[in-house]
Amino acid sequence: ESVNHLHRPNFHFQPPKHWINDPNGPVYYKGLYHLFYQYNTKGAVWGNIIWAHSVSKDLVNWEALEPAIHPSKWFDIGGTWSGSITIVPGKGPIILYTGVNQNETQLQNYAIPEDPSDPYLRKWIKPDDNPIAMPDYTMNGSAFRDPTTAWFSKDGHWRTVVGSKRKRRGIAYIYRSRDFKHWVKAKHPVHSKESTGMWECPDFFPVSLTDFQNGLDLDYVGPNTKHVLKVSLDITRYEYYTLGKYDPKKDRYIPDGNTPDGWEGLRFDYGNFYASKTFFDYKKNRRILWGWANESDTVEDDILKGWAGIQVIPRTVLLDSSKKQLVFWPVEEIESLRGNYVRMNNHDIKMGQRIEVKGITPAQADVEVTFYVGSLEKAETFDPSFTFEPLDLCKIKGSNVKGGVGPFGLITLATPDLEEYTPVFFRVFKDTKTHKPKVLMCSDARPSSLKQDKGPLAKDRMYKPPFAGFVDVDMADGRISLRTLIDHSVVESFGALGKTVITSRVYPVKAVKENAHLYVFNNGTQTVTIESLNAWNMERPLQMNEGAL
């Protein structure tokens, strides 16, 4: 089998070939970062899923180990699906994962390392007293999966959350155990929400209300915390999260009134990003997020390429100082891959101007830019009575549609004549009610590729949406920043230091490798200044799972 490298990322996590999806069981243990992931041993489409396993000292270079779990017992013969790792004092790391039995019922299982003293955790055992949880008659046995990392509470119980649904109501069940073997479902779900459908890959963790630098471990208790509940919605393939209060006595989670709980909810990432999972990094006291970015190419081309799916660059997760949302930033370790470097300072871009960033490799780069806009006088008005989704707004007001303040931003993976390009940009509106700026961020894949659709079915078309989200900034100092990691078919963008994040996958035909270009542009009447721009070539890590599997 051959692997086509044209659109293959170089510094994002990937095995050498075949399909990957959800990150599983991320953990830091005895000096190594472990990442397991859903992997098809046989091809570049979903199926034959096992837990593949890699380790890293630095979250940049990865060594592939033998698979950790594959279907082998009655309680997982139909599938070894997603789950997590918990470090249990006195026992070591324990995997909780979803097994599918021969009747396609989903069960929760556990697995233990053969040798917990081995930092590599190479071999895993599935004890015979599995499963640890089965759906009862009140539950939907084909929608019961993805146990979270468990946490230990003062009442002597371990707790884990499992995703589910009943009819159209999304549910997060909570299970308790004293010994990590016998688990009992709490009477009430920790949370649920009507009309949201299946809650895949829930994630539930505390954040600090006073320390905006460090993450918290799951069992942290203190007055100044909030909880985050994230769910992945299989209907739209989007995730959303709420901030709220977890009451450990009642085992209930109540989202804050001001964060929408449902389809309109806040997102870790407004683009191609799914089945994400965080873990607490004991080495650097941070909470790190992993997430899967699927291909958006045609299924036929995925098969021809011989590979499909990547993990995004791991991101630190913190509560924003506004306390209304989270902020995300690529782990600092990734900066070790920065090579050749160019910069630009105090450069005005007038309406209609496009400035090329030269001297780096635009198809494999890290770009940080701070824009100074100064006056917001010319901003277009935003009528809050429009119930536009950001995505609809970006669809109508693309990067070519002239505005007042913006659109301005980066044009990535472009041909010089803009036959192909993926713009990442801001457009600033004036909210007619609050008179405050309303900032839209778009990453528009529509003009990204000249490749023709192969047919009318979704699998035969590339998915090229105008991903978008609002950015909650007042721009009081007239500034806004953008960082974009470009990796051949990956455009991963962080607006306003990580307040709004958008990952997109694109497959240009011409704007590839050394034929790709990078520009800064402005299509608003307000002149915008590039206050500073720093751009780097990104090197390939020395080790990226080569030769394994």
List all residues 6 or more positions away from 257 whose beta carbon is below 8 Å from its beta carbon.
Answer: none
Distance CA 199, CA 65 (A): 30
Nearer to ligand DQQ, 45 or 209 (CB): 45
196 binds ligand DQQ (CB under 6 A): no
In the complex, least distance from residue 103 CB atom to ligand DQQ, rounded to whole angstroms: 17
In the complex, least distance from residue 275 CB atom to ligand DQQ, rounded to whole angstroms: 4
In the complex, least distance from residue 201 CB atom to ligand DQQ, rounded to whole angstroms: 5
Which residue's Cβ has the minimum distance to ligand DQQ?
81
Nearer to ligand DQQ, 82 or 316 (CB): 82
Q: How many residues bind to ligand DQQ according to rule CB under 6 A?
A: 13
In the complex, least distance from residue 294 CB atom to ligand DQQ, rounded to whole angstroms: 9
Distance CA 483, CA 533 (A): 10
Q: How many residues does the chain have?
A: 549
Q: Is 241 exposed, middle or buried (CB count within 10 Å of its CB: 0-12, 13-18, 19+)?
A: buried
Query: One symbol per residue from 69 to 88: x for binding ligand DQQ (CB under 6 A), - otherwise; what is it?
Result: ------------xx------
275 binds ligand DQQ (CB under 6 A): yes
- Can you tell me which residue has the tokens 């069992």? 219
CB atoms within 10 A of CB 484: 25
- Can you tell me which residue has the tokens 């470090």? 87
146 binds ligand DQQ (CB under 6 A): yes
List the structure tokens of 224.
């100044």
Nearer to ligand DQQ, 274 or 425 (CB): 274
- Can you tell me which residue has the tokens 């994040």? 501
201 binds ligand DQQ (CB under 6 A): yes
Nearer to ligand DQQ, 45 or 342 (CB): 45
Instruction: Quote the Cα angle for 486-490-492, to 5°.
Output: 65
The rounded Cα 316 to chain-centroid distance in angstroms is: 11
Give yes or no: 251 in active site: no
Active-site residue, from 22, 261, 269, 301: 22
Decide: 180 and 151 in contact? Cβ < 8 Å. Answer: no
Residues between 40 and 59 with contacts to ligand DQQ, criterion CB under 6 A: 49
Q: Is 47 exposed, middle or buried (CB count within 10 Å of its CB: 0-12, 13-18, 19+)?
A: exposed
In the complex, least distance from residue 365 CB atom to ligand DQQ, rounded to whole angstroms: 29
Nearer to ligand DQQ, 229 or 275 (CB): 275
Nearer to ligand DQQ, 309 or 423 (CB): 309
Q: Which of 76, 200, 261, 492 binds ligand DQQ (CB under 6 A)?
A: 200
In the complex, least distance from residue 150 CB atom to ligand DQQ, rounded to whole angstroms: 17
276 binds ligand DQQ (CB under 6 A): no
Nearer to ligand DQQ, 45 or 355 (CB): 45
269 binds ligand DQQ (CB under 6 A): no
Decide: 272 and 279 in contact? Cβ < 8 Å. Answer: no
Phi, psi of 496 (to 5 degrees): 50, 55
Q: Which of 9, 12, 22, 54 binds ligand DQQ (CB under 6 A)?
A: 22
Decide: 65 and 53 in contact? Cβ < 8 Å. Answer: yes
Selection from 75, 64, 62, 81 nearest residue 24 by Cα: 81
Nearer to ligand DQQ, 200 or 420 (CB): 200
Mapped onto helix, strand or coil, the DSSP state of residue 117 is: coil
List the structure tokens of 419.
């036959």
Distance CA 169, CA 188 (A): 14
Ordered DSSP codes for 14-72: --SSEEEEEEEEEEEETTEEEEEEEEESS-SSS-SEEEEEEEESSSSSBEEEEEEE-S-
21 binds ligand DQQ (CB under 6 A): yes
In the complex, least distance from residue 197 CB atom to ligand DQQ, rounded to whole angstroms: 12
Q: Which of 7, 34, 126, 145 binds ligand DQQ (CB under 6 A)?
A: 145
Q: Which of 10, 14, 38, 272 binds ligand DQQ (CB under 6 A)?
A: 38
Distance CA 149, CA 145 (A): 13
In the complex, least distance from residue 175 CB atom to ligand DQQ, rounded to whole angstroms: 16
- Residues with a catalytic annotation lie at 22
Q: Which residues bind ligand DQQ (CB under 6 A)?
A: 21-22, 38, 49, 81-82, 98, 145-146, 200-201, 274-275
